[in-house]
Amino acid sequence: MAVETKPVTAKEPLVEMRDVGKRYGNIRALSGISLRVRAGEITCVLGDNGAGKSTLIKIISGLHQHDEGELLVDGEDVRFTSPRDALNRGIATVYQDLAVVALMPIWRNFFLGSEVRQPISRARLLNTGFMKTTSRSELLKMGIDLPDMDQPIGTLSGGQRQCVAIARAIYLGARVLILDEPTAALGVKQSGVVLKYVAAARDAGLGVILITHNPHHAYMVGDHFVLLSRGEGKLDCKRAEITLDELTRQMAGGDELSALAHELER
């Protein structure tokens, strides 16, 4: 693998997109998107509904493929044909719409697709004991205390489910963590918990892509901001180059917002 032969400097991005474009039939979902994700940094992708945020991360995570431009992982041009390919390169994704299998127990969800098995001498059966204790202790680290790992994950709250998905990605050794609106359905307190864990992932040296509608959440943890508008990159800057107010203004459509504020004034 490229990682082992080439010394990865701190500056070199884990994942990079260059002028990437994507169409769904006639719909041009993305065009000319460039983005870099480095180890120990959080890149926030912001934008309105339908701006193409989910499409962007689905390309990186192997669910969709790009039609134009390049996708580089560790400097190597790649084209993923399945989520398995991306996972094998250490890219784990917590999806907005596909996080967990509701009817399955928590521990089975935690290890789904990466099940831990016993040695050959025990017929490679599942190591259920290990998986139950590990999933429980990993969740405990996030402050989620669930006595029964056998309960269907559908019985958890939305925030707890997000946390399970994040904890799973980190535990399973992701180098790049992609989160699609992890705080969208959450209350203030649970959003805080999730953001804290996102920051923890960054401190652990992961490269993080955080998708959100919320400029406050983005500014709290982000190192880089990429703003999408109707499938095109509208803004791409470092934290030092922008203030929260400016980010919020840009997200809301800049001058359009002042006009709206004026209209709504009472």
Partner 1 sequence: MGQTVDAGVATAPAPAPPRVTQRSLGRRLMMRPEIGSLVGVILIYIFFFVVASPFRSTASLATILYASSTIGMMAVPVALLMIGGEFDLSAGVAVTTSALVAALFSYNLNLNIWIGVLVALVVAVGIGFINGYLVVRTRIPSFLVTLGTFLMLQGLNLAVTKGVTGAVASQDVSQMTGFSSAATIFASSVPIGPVSVRITVFWWILFIAISTVLLLKTRVGNWVFSVGGDANSARAVGVPVNKTKIGLFMVVGLMAWFVGMHILFSFNTVQSGQGVGNEFLYIIAAVIGGCLLTGGFGSTIGSAMGALIFGMTTEGIIYAGWNPDWFKFFLGIMLLLATVLNAYVRQLASRR
Ligand X SMILES: Nc1ncnc2c1ncn2[C@@H]1O[C@H](COP(=O)(O)OP(=O)(O)OP(=O)(O)O)[C@@H](O)[C@H]1O
Residue 223 falls in which region: left (phi positive, over 0), alpha (psi -120 to 50) or beta:
alpha
Joined tokens for residue 215: 């400029």
Q: Which does 252 bind (CB under 5 to 8 A by kind): ligand X, Mg ion, partner 1, none?
A: none
Q: Which does 1 bind (CB under 5 to 8 A by kind): ligand X, Mg ion, partner 1, none?
A: none
Residues that bind ligand X (CB under 6 A): 24, 27, 29, 47, 49-55, 96
Is residue 201 helix, strand or coil?
A: helix
- The dihedrals phi and psi of 260, each to the nearest 5 degrees, come to -65, -45
Q: Which does 151 bind (CB under 5 to 8 A by kind): partner 1, Mg ion, ligand X, none?
A: partner 1
Please identify which residue in the block is written with the tokens 């307190």: 189
Please identify which residue in the block is written with the tokens 């994942």: 15
* 209 sits near partner 1 (criterion: CB under 8 A): no
Least gap, CB of 180 to Mg ion (angstroms):
6
Q: Which of 31, 43, 54, 162 binds Mg ion (CB under 5 A)?
A: 54
DSSP conformational letter for 12: S
Closest CA to 60 of 36, 41, 39: 36
Least gap, CB of 221 to partner 1 (angstroms):
12
Closest CA to 33 of 209, 210, 215, 234: 234
Least gap, CB of 64 to ligand X (angstroms):
8
Least gap, CB of 173 to partner 1 (angstroms):
12
* # chain residues binding Mg ion, by CB under 5 A: 2
Radius of gyration, CA atoms only, the chain: 19
Least gap, CB of 87 to partner 1 (angstroms):
5
Exposure b/e, 39-59, CB count within 10 A at least 16 = b: bebbbbbbbeeebbbbbbbbb
Q: Which does 235 bind (CB under 5 to 8 A by kind): ligand X, partner 1, Mg ion, none?
A: none
Question: Which residues sit at the interface with Mg ion, rule CB under 5 A?
Answer: 54, 96
Chain residues in the site for partner 1 (CB under 8 A): 61, 63, 82-84, 87, 93, 95, 97-104, 108, 111-115, 117, 124-126, 128, 140-145, 147-148, 150-152, 154-157, 170, 196-197, 199-201, 203-205
